[in-house]
Every structure is written in structure tokens, then in C-alpha cells.
Chain A
Amino acid sequence: GNSVTQMEGPVTLSEEAFLTINCTYTATGYPSLFWYVQYPGEGLQLLLKATKADDKGSNKGFEATYRKETTSFHLEKGSVQVSDSAVYFCALNGAGSYQLTFGKGTKLSVIP
């Protein structure tokens, strides 16, 4: 079956530091890949996505590249801000299905 593995948190960074949150997946066929984010007190919201190999998703300074050869979709941001403090979930949508499979989430705290 499909599965997503994310790096364990929590992650604490200073403002303007570089962020990487690792995500690898197992899936049959060619899944679509997503990063969702949950800010404190809010619902999950889509951050970015990539639907085929070598695609790069980007939004709000965050980027992730769909790497089929390493089955990875790592999230990166060059300079984090306090407002980026949230829980980040990597997810995939398997071929022929409408259900998302999520990782466990990585909590990011950015300190001034």
C-alpha cells in the first residue's frame, strides 16, 4: 500500500535559517505529491504540490521537487520566519484514488 515517511520533529530554527523537512514515499504507479500545513488554531491547508516526476512545487518561499528516482519530496525554504511556525504534512494521492495518504507531520518552531 501507499505510505509516507517524514522526518521526526519537532524542529526548532532561528529566524532566517534554512529549512529542510525530509519526505519519502512508497506508492504504486505515479502518485501526486503534496505538502499541507497546519498553522496554530487553523485547519489544514495546501502549501504546494507536484503531479509528475521532476516537477517543482512552490508557494510562499517554500519549494519541493518530485524526485522519482529517490521517491522523495523534501520541503525547503531559504529563510524561515516566525510566522512559518506550524505543523507540516507530506501527503500523496495514489493513482486511481481520491484519498490522500499523509505522513505523521513535522512541527516547526521558528524563534526570533
Chain B
Amino acid sequence: DTGVSQDPRHKITKRGQNVTFRCDPISEHNRLYWYRQTLGQGPEFLTYFQNEAQLEKSRLLSDRFSAERPKGSFSTLEIQRTEQGDSAMYLCASSPGQGRDEKLFFGSGTQLSVL
């Protein structure tokens, strides 16, 4: 068990560019979540996958954001035409899929800075 891995750790981009983040969950975890956290705030839910199916999406996830989990393993989060307001820490979490109240295992996050 190597934990949830996120790549890259840091990303600096210019406004208008596209960026893609990757998350590798703990192996055999069926559920995968994306959250966004800005300075001084708690994490905000973005989206959730059960295996490869995207089952919940927040209204925060505008049409510039897209997430995939093609084979039910790793996931990618893409932001198109980045804006300065997209600057945040993007957190990925996974869980076994054994109940609604189960523990989430979080990665260390990808810090995005949009200049």
C-alpha cells in the first residue's frame, strides 16, 4: 500500500492554458474523489467515481473541467482555458467502496498556480 499518489506536485501555468493532473489511488479502491482547496478554506467536492463511472459532479465543476477514470484505476482531471481563479490545491482521495461512511485516503495534492 503506497498510498494515493498525485502528479505533479506543483504546476505553474499561464492563463488560458490547459492543464492535466493525474491521480493513482490505492490499488483495489473502487471509489475515487476529486476535491479543490483554496488557502484558508476546507476542501470542496468536485466529483466522484465508482470504478470507471462518474456518479456525482459538483456545480463547481464547470464545463472547463473534465475528469476521467478510464479503466477504473488512475484518474485524470483536466482544466481547459485556465483562469486565475482556478489557482488552488487539487486533492484526490480514494476509498475501498464498502459503505457511505468509510474512511477516505487523501493524496498530498497538486498545487496549481495560474499566472
Please give the residue numbers on chain A whose beta carbons come within 8 Å of chain B beta carbons, in ascending order.
4, 32, 42-46, 49, 51, 89, 91, 93, 97-105
Q: Is the CB of B48 within 8 A of A46?
A: no
B41 contacts the other chain (Cβ, under 8 Å)? yes
- Contact pattern, B 19-45, Cβ under 8 Å of A = 1, otherwise 0: 000000000000101010000111111
Contact: A102 with B106, CB < 8 Å? no
For residue B27, give the distance in angstroms from its CB to the closest CB of chain A.
17
Contact indicator B48/A91 (Cβ below 8 Å)? no
Q: How many residues of B contact A (CB 8 A)?
A: 26
| Pairs across A and B, CB under 8 Å, 9 listed | A4-B42, A43-B106, A44-B106, A51-B101, A89-B42, A91-B42, A98-B56, A104-B42, A105-B41
Inter-chain contact B45/A100, CB cutoff 8 Å:
yes
- B40: chain A residues at CB < 8 Å are 104-105
Bound complex: CA of A91 vs CA of B37, how far in Å?
Answer: 14
Closest to B46 in A: A99
Q: Are A99 and B101 in contact (CB under 8 A)?
A: no
Nearest-CB distance from B50 to chain A (Å)?
A: 8
